[in-house]
């Protein structure tokens, strides 16, 4: 059946290629009807608003016309900062907090990393560990721009786009031949080198990019186990494009990444034994896309993606050379999709799409696959000069969880020159993770069992057959029904206003109400006294806050901004319990007292306040650029110390901290840049709370272009 | 090495009888008009099948036996380390402890008329037994629920694998004779009752320290 569907997708692509007849030439960028108005306020920053973005509406749109909170970081800014990894780039962004849990992940609008969709050139990146897709894996060395959309985008992208979407857009080949070499070396023997060759000639265009990133890692404690292990990471990306005719274009993008890690680890047992731990990670993707202009203003895009993510970890004893443990994880993702975009009337741009997804995972404890189909529709409508309305909706039908419909309505109002008001209401969702559906795990030490929703009935049956079930806590026939996706309803209201003296204020208020969060609950008691757990939809949380940025660009060569975010993220069930006076803490005097609602810190890892500053100045004649970035986060809930399950006392917080980064770039000739930089200038470290900061690091870099 | 230390600890603790201190009630009870006759008794380091061997993968193992305790007499009826299990089938004990599991002498766990529930209230605030909530142990569920966050303890809520009593959880027990009532507040699950048992060797698990009040006159009031 799987083969049949693939044959369909491939023949669809082939047929579309055949139908490509000689209609009018129309480049993709001309498709959007020009409904924007010249942005020529006295002090505004038209350059930024004119920048074309694609993530928020899946169509090319000027930033000034996008009705949802969107920010863009372009190649020039990336180069001026000297950052090489997506994690380092986003760490400095307003409205984004990096959290480190099984890798560097983004926290957007107070959501954990699982709730933000990560795209490269519009296609999803797979391979999450405990929900985090480590952004260290993604290089930004050949990137054109990185777009960040905050707020739910499930109405266009489906699962995972609940908190937001990060889209890494790589540089397209340009006419002629381009070549670029970059190299960077710094503290901890960290090196990053890349080569990019690209070009276009006649109907052909192509790009090849290779990067190598390696580090010795570092150790903050006296332990033999390093805080961060040594690793070597390779990324290759390539594009091959061919214009079949003036209105038909075929492009194939490929991506391959591999990372090797090694470290020493200790295990406590009868004796402390040391192991050599080695890990391998491979991540690949192949994506052909066929774009065909049916008539001016109407484009059909057929695309397919095949991607895979595989990890393997081996533990080998240092004394006896015996292999103790092997763990592996193998994930596959396939998607075929068709998208039609058409301008109708003078004021509408409609996008409709449909597709099919097949995902599978094969790992030690989790094995399964699921399939799904989706349809989405969007209308970008400009009913009046001063108003844009963008309704959209997507339907996702899945084999293993309930069907989701995700609608969204966004509006942009421009009542005056230099004033834009955005408002949107939408629904986001996140599909149950593989483990929540397919886990089949019995803890050998403690003896409890956990089953995914699809496995629980079979798991209980087999335990029962072995006489391991003492009692059922729930009727098994009520278990294992279609699980719901975690879902949200979100509101965003924002304003962008041009102020005197080249100042611009962009502010956004948001509220996300999330239901059906997936959590474990016991369903049976085993004869060994332990329990059997499975997953249920039951949690309810909300996040709300303010994101504000004040930027100042008096001159194209001078750019400065300060940002502030305020965040509240709380569990509704905990709030109910607190209000009922059912959560206590023990005082020093040994008395138990009910915790006041106001002492509840909310979800862990969320700072109430966060601020960033950035300053970049370029002395054009001297060829010199300086970039300084700073970020601060207030204290955040870290762990429960007093046993009541929530963060409510000072000892349960991680301390606030601030990080300052500096980069200086000198252009020697037109095509050669030298760079020096220092990250974490104040040498902030805290092994307990923030092992991700190794202290002050230095680097030198070189960039040479053909 | 670790095993030897733990064995030594076990032998030492087995040699010592548990400290059963019946202290004077010097903690002023809650409420201004309070008159107190019942005293708070504290049991320290009651072994509940502590680790005797470390199995494969470093898994701690006890003898898989319960320690039977009489709340009425404030004494151990049968320790988990004792081989003869004769007294377990009697009404001499009120609660039986093994690891984090606490059974009561009633229903499927014992011949007595015991029952229990876990009140979501501070120890001092539990002044009256809610007899409606009293349950015997059954096949389906124990009166004192097991599992992190379900009954008296939480496990690993800060990622350090500690078992800690949940503040504001008071175990209310009907004694095995069906006539008395007790309320229990667990203070610690680790020997020596440290605030946080960072040093596992100095503070092995499966040692209960708890406060309790027992009312033996048939009244359902702890005042």
Q: In the A/B pair of chains, how many CB contacts fall below 8 A?
A: 87
Residues 6+ apart with CB under 8 A from A438: A361, A366, A367, A368, A452, A454, A455
> Element (H or E) spanning A154, and its range?
helix A154-157
**Percentage of residues in chain A with pLDDT exceeding 70?**
91
Average pLDDT over residues A644-651: 91
Question: What pLDDT is stored for residue A445 in this prediction?
Answer: 67
Residues 6+ apart with CB under 8 A from A70: A53, A55, A56, A63, A147, A148, A149, A150
Name the residue in chain A with its Cα closest to that of B195: A642
Rg of chain A over Cα atoms, rounded to whole angstroms, equals 26
Question: What pLDDT is stored for residue A526 in this prediction?
Answer: 83
User: Does B123 fall in a domain?
Assistant: yes
Place A27 in a pLDDT band, splitting at 50, 70 and 90: very low
User: Does B88 fall in a domain?
Assistant: yes
Q: Is the pLDDT of residue A706 over 70?
A: yes
Domain holding B115, by residue range, is: 2-215
**Looking at the complex, does the CB of residue A472 fall below 8 Å from at least one CB of chain B?**
yes
Place B160 in a pLDDT band, splitting at 50, 70 and 90: low
Average pLDDT over residues A655-681: 94
**Looking at the complex, does the CB of residue B4 fall below 8 Å from at least one CB of chain A?**
no
User: Which among B1, B122, B160 has the least Cβ separation from residue A584?
Assistant: B122
User: Which among A268, A582, A642 has the least Cβ separation from residue B120?
Assistant: A582
User: Does B52 fall in a domain?
Assistant: yes
Q: Is the pLDDT of residue A196 over 60?
A: yes
Half-sphere exposure of A41 (CA within 13 A, CB side): 22
Question: What pLDDT is stored for residue B199 in this prediction?
Answer: 76
**Looking at the complex, does the CB of residue B23 fall below 8 Å from at least one CB of chain A?**
no
Place A509 in a pLDDT band, splitting at 50, 70 and 90: very high
Q: Is the pLDDT of residue B22 over 50?
A: no
Question: What pLDDT is stored for residue B54 in this prediction?
Answer: 66
User: Does B174 fall in a domain?
Assistant: yes
Place A482 in a pLDDT band, splitting at 50, 70 and 90: confident
What letter does residue A91 receive in the DSSP assignment? H
**Looking at the complex, does the CB of residue A271 fall below 8 Å from at least one CB of chain B?**
yes
**Looking at the complex, does the CB of residue B120 fall below 8 Å from at least one CB of chain A?**
yes
User: Which among B1, B57, B138 has the least Cβ separation from residue A444?
Assistant: B57
Whole-number Å distance between alpha carbons of A603 and A110: 9
Answer whether B158 sits within 8 Å of A640, measured CB to CB: yes
Answer whether B58 sits within 8 Å of A267, measured CB to CB: yes
Question: What pLDDT is stored for residue A129 in this prediction?
Answer: 85
Question: What pLDDT is stored for residue A13 in this prediction?
Answer: 40
Whole-number Å distance between alpha carbons of A677 and A674: 10
Q: How many domains is chain A built from?
A: 1
Query: A247-256 burial, b for 16+ CB within 10 Å, e for fewer?
Result: bbbbbbbebb
Whole-number Å distance between alpha carbons of A504 and A495: 10
Residue B119 phi, psi dihedral angles, 5° rounding: -85, 140
Answer whether B167 sits within 8 Å of A471, measured CB to CB: no
Q: In B, which residues are within 8 Å of A470 by CB distance?
A: 139
Answer whether A471 sits within 8 Å of B141, measured CB to CB: yes
Residues 613-642 of A with CB under 8 A from B: 639-642
Bridge partners of A335, per DSSP, are A305, A357
A51-55, B28-32, B52-56: which range is least confident on average?
Answer: B28-32
Q: Please, are residues A488 and A513 in contact by the beta-carbon 8 Å criterion?
A: yes
Closest approach of A159 to chain B, Cα-based (Å):
29
Answer whether A592 sits within 8 Å of B141, measured CB to CB: no
Q: In B, which residues are within 8 Å of A271 by CB distance?
A: 1-2
Tokens matching residue B55: 């199995």
Q: In A, which residues are within 8 Å of B150 by CB distance?
A: 522
Half-sphere exposure of B131 (CA within 13 A, CB side): 9
Answer whether A592 sits within 8 Å of B139, measured CB to CB: no
Question: What pLDDT is stored for residue A32 in this prediction?
Answer: 39
Rg of chain B over Cα atoms, rounded to whole angstroms, equals 17
User: Does A586 fall in a domain?
Assistant: yes
A322-331, A394-403, A675-684: which range is least confident on average?
Answer: A322-331
**Looking at the complex, does the CB of residue B147 fall below 8 Å from at least one CB of chain A?**
yes
Whole-number Å distance between alpha carbons of A369 and A315: 28
Residue A340 phi, psi dihedral angles, 5° rounding: -120, 130
User: Does B220 fall in a domain?
Assistant: no
User: Does B152 fall in a domain?
Assistant: yes
Q: Pick the residue with more confidence: B64 or B188?
A: B188
Whole-number Å distance between alpha carbons of B221 and B215: 8
In this prediction the pTM is: 0.85
Q: What is the pLDDT of residues B106-150, one digit of tens each?
A: 999 999 999 999 999 999 999 999 999 999 999 878 899 887 788
Residue B165 phi, psi dihedral angles, 5° rounding: -65, 140
Average pLDDT over residues B38-55: 86
Closest approach of A196 to chain B, Cα-based (Å):
44
Answer whether B168 sits within 8 Å of A643, measured CB to CB: no
Place A496 in a pLDDT band, splitting at 50, 70 and 90: very high
Q: How many domains is chain B built from?
A: 1
Largest CA distance in chain A: 86
Question: What pLDDT is stored for residue B65 in this prediction?
Answer: 87
Answer whether B30 sits within 8 Å of A593, measured CB to CB: no
Average pLDDT over residues A506-511: 97
Q: In B, which residues are within 8 Å of A594 by CB distance?
A: 122, 168
Answer whether A525 sits within 8 Å of B164, measured CB to CB: no
Of the candidates A83, A35, A37, A28, the one whose C-alpha atom is nearest the C-alpha of residue A60 is: A28
User: Does B196 fall in a domain?
Assistant: yes
Answer whether B54 sits within 8 Å of A591, measured CB to CB: no
Answer whether B140 sits within 8 Å of A525, measured CB to CB: yes
Closest approach of A608 to chain B, Cα-based (Å):
20
Q: Pick the residue with more confidence: A457 or A252?
A: A252
Average pLDDT over residues A154-183: 95
Q: In A, which residues are within 8 Å of B124 by CB distance?
A: 591-592
Domain holding A191, by residue range, is: 2-25+44-705
Question: What pLDDT is stored for residue A4 in this prediction?
Answer: 47
Q: Please, are residues A74 and A143 in contact by the beta-carbon 8 Å criterion?
A: no
Tokens matching residue A263: 């470290």
∠ CA A543-A549-A554, nearest 5°, is 170
Answer whether B167 sits within 8 Å of A268, measured CB to CB: no
Give the distance from CA A508 to its chain's centroid.
20
Question: What pLDDT is stored for residue B59 in this prediction?
Answer: 56
Question: What pLDDT is stored for residue A644 in this prediction?
Answer: 87
Whole-number Å distance between alpha carbons of A423 and A509: 10
Q: Pick the residue with more confidence: A144 or B159?
A: A144
Answer whether B167 sits within 8 Å of A644, measured CB to CB: yes
Q: Phi-psi region for residue B192, left (φ > 0), alpha (ψ -120 to 50) or beta?
A: left
Question: What pLDDT is stored for residue A365 in this prediction?
Answer: 82
Closest approach of A125 to chain B, Cα-based (Å):
29
Answer whether B59 sits within 8 Å of A531, measured CB to CB: no
The two beta strands, A116-120 and A164-170, are parallel
Q: Is the pLDDT of residue A77 over 60?
A: yes
Q: What is the mean pLDDT of chain A?
A: 88
Question: What pLDDT is stored for residue B81 in this prediction?
Answer: 78
Tokens matching residue A377: 């529709």
Average pLDDT over residues A248-275: 81
Whole-number Å distance between alpha carbons of A525 and A473: 7
Question: What pLDDT is stored for residue B3 in this prediction?
Answer: 46
DSSP letter for each residue of B22-82: -----SPPSSTT----S--EEEEEEESS---EE-GGG-EE--S-PEEEETTTTEEEE-TT-
The enclosing domain of A318 has a CATH number of 2.40.170.20
Whole-number Å distance between alpha carbons of A291 and A251: 8
Answer whether B101 sits within 8 Å of A529, measured CB to CB: yes
> Element (H or E) spanning A459, and its range?
helix A456-465
A353-367, A492-506, A589-603, B4-18: which range is least confident on average?
Answer: B4-18
Q: Is the pLDDT of residue A698 over 70?
A: yes
Give the distance from CA A318 to its chain's centroid.
38
User: Which among A269, A525, A641 has the least Cβ separation from residue B158?
Assistant: A641
Q: In A, which residues are within 8 Å of B157 by CB distance?
A: 639-640, 643, 645
Largest CA distance in chain B: 57
Tokens 């930004």, located at residue: A140
Answer whether B122 sits within 8 Å of A529, measured CB to CB: no
User: Does B114 fall in a domain?
Assistant: yes
The two beta strands, A419-430 and A440-442, are unpaired
User: Does A38 fall in a domain?
Assistant: no
Tokens 């015996």, located at residue: A322
Q: In A, which residues are within 8 Å of B122 by CB distance?
A: 584, 591-594
Bridge partners of A272, per DSSP, are none
Q: What is the pLDDT of residues A513-551, one digit of tens each?
A: 999 999 888 888 888 777 888 988 888 999 999 999 999
Residue A360 neighbours by CB distance under 10 Å: 18
Residues 88-117 of B with CB under 8 A from A: 99, 101
Provide the 3-class DSSP secondary structure of residue A2.
helix
DSSP letter for each residue of A585-641: EE-TTS-EEEPPGGG---STT-BSEEEEEEEEEEETTTTEEEEEEEEEE--EE----
Question: What pLDDT is stored for residue A442 in this prediction?
Answer: 86
Place A493 in a pLDDT band, splitting at 50, 70 and 90: very high
């Amino acid at each position: 059946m799987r083969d049949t569907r693939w044959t369909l997708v491939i023949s669809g692509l082939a047929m579309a290629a055949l139908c490509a007849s000689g209609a009018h030439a129309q480049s993709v960028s001309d498709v959007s009807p020009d409904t924007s108005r010249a942005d020529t306020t006295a002090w505004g920053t038209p350059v930024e608003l004119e920048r074309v973005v694609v993530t928020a509406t899946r169509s090319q749109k000027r930033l000034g016309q996008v009705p949802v909170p969107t920010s863009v970081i372009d190649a020039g800014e990336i180069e001026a900062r000297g950052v090489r990894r997506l994690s380092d780039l986003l760490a400095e962004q307003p409205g984004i907090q990096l959290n480190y849990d099984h890798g560097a992940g983004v926290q957007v609008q107070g959501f954990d990393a699982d709730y933000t969709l990560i795209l490269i050139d519009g296609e999803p990146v797979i391979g999450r560990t405990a929900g985090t897709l480590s952004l260290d894996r993604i290089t930004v060395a050949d990137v054109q721009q990185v777009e960040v959309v905050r707020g739910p985008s499930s109405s266009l992208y489906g699962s995972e786009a609940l908190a937001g979407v990060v889209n890494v857009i790589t540089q397209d080949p340009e006419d002629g031949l381009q070549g670029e070499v970059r190299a960077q070396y710094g503290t901890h023997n960290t090196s990053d080198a890349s080569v990019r060759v690209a070009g276009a000639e006649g109907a052909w265009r192509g790009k090849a990019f290779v990067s190598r990133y390696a580090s010795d890692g570092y150790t903050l404690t006296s332990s033999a186990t390093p805080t961060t292990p040594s690793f070597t990471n390779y990324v290759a990306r390539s594009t091959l494009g061919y214009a079949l005719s003036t209105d038909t274009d075929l492009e194939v993008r490929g991506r391959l990444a591999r990372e090797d890690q090694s470290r020493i680890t200790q295990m406590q047992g009868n004796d402390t034994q040391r192991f050599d731990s080695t890990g391998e990670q491979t991540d690949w993707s192949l994506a052909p896309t066929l774009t065909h202009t049916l008539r001016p203003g109407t484009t059909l895009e057929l695309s397919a993606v095949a991607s895979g993510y595989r990890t393997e970890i081996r533990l080998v004893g240092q004394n006896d050379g015996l292999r103790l443990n092997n763990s592996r994880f193998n994930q596959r993702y396939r998607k075929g999709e068709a998208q039609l975009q058409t301008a109708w009337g003078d004021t509408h741009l409609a996008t409709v799409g449909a597709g099919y997804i097949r995902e599978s995972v094969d790992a030690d404890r989790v094995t399964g696959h699921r399939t799904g189909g989706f349809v989405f529709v969007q209308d970008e409508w400009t009913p009046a000069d001063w108003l844009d309305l963008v309704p959209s909706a997507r339907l996702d039908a899945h084999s293993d969880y309930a069907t989701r419909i995700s609608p969204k309505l966004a509006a942009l109002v421009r009542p005056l020159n230099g004033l834009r008001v955005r408002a949107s209401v939408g629904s986001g969702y996140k599909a149950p993770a593989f483990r929540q559906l397919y886990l089949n795990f019995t803890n050998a030490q403690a003896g409890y069992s956990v089953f995914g929703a699809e496995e629980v009935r079979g798991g209980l049956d087999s335990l029962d057959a072995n006489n391991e079930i003492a009692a059922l806590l729930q009727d098994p026939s009520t278990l294992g029904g279609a699980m719901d996706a975690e879902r949200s309803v979100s509101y965003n209201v924002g304003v962008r206003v041009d102020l005197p003296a080249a100042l611009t204020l962009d502010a956004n208020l948001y509220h996300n109400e999330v239901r059906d969060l997936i959590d474990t609950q016991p369903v049976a008691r085993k004869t060994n006294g332990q329990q059997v757990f499975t997953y249920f939809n039951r949690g309810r949380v909300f996040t709300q806050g303010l994101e504000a940025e004040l930027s100042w660009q008096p001159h194209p060569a001078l750019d400065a901004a300060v940002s502030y975010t305020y965040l509240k993220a709380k569990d509704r069930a905990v709030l109910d319990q607190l209000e009922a006076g059912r959560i206590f803490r023990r005082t020093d005097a040994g008395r138990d007292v009910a915790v006041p609602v106001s002492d509840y810190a909310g979800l862990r890892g969320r700072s109430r306040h966060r601020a960033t500053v950035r300053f970049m100045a370029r002395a054009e004649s001297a060829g010199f650029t300086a970039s300084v970035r700073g970020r601060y986060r207030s204290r955040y809930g870290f762990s429960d110390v007093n046993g009541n399950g929530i963060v409510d006392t000072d000892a349960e917080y991680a301390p606030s901290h601030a990080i300052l980064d500096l980069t200086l770039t000198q252009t020697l000739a037109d095509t050669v840049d030298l760079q020096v930089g220092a990250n974490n200038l104040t040498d902030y470290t805290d092994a307990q709370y923030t092992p991700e900061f190794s202290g002050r690091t230095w680097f030198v870099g070189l960039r040479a272009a053909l | 090495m670790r095993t030897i230390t733990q064995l030594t600890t076990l032998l030492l603790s087995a040699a010592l009888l548990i400290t059963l201190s019946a202290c004077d009630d010097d903690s002023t009870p809650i409420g201004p008009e309070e008159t107190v006759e019942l005293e708070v008794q504290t049991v320290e380091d009651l072994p509940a099948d502590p680790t005797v061997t470390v199995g494969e993968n470093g898994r701690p193992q006890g003898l898989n036996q319960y320690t039977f305790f009489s709340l009425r007499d404030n004494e151990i009826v049968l320790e988990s380390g004792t081989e003869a299990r004769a007294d377990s089938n009697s009404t001499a004990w009120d609660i039986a402890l093994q690891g984090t599991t606490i059974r009561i002498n009633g229903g499927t766990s014992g011949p007595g008329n015991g029952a229990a529930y876990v009140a979501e209230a501070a120890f001092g605030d539990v002044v009256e037994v809610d007899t409606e909530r009293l349950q015997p142990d059954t096949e389906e569920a124990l009166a004192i629920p097991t599992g992190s966050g379900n009954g008296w303890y939480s496990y690993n809520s800060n990622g350090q694998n500690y078992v800690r009593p949940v503040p504001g959880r008071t175990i209310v027990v009907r004694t095995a004779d069906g006539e008395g009532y007790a309320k229990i507040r667990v203070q610690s699950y680790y020997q020596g009752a440290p605030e946080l048992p960072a040093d596992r060797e100095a503070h092995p698990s499966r040692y209960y320290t708890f406060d309790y009040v027992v009312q033996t006159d048939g009244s359902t009031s702890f005042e």
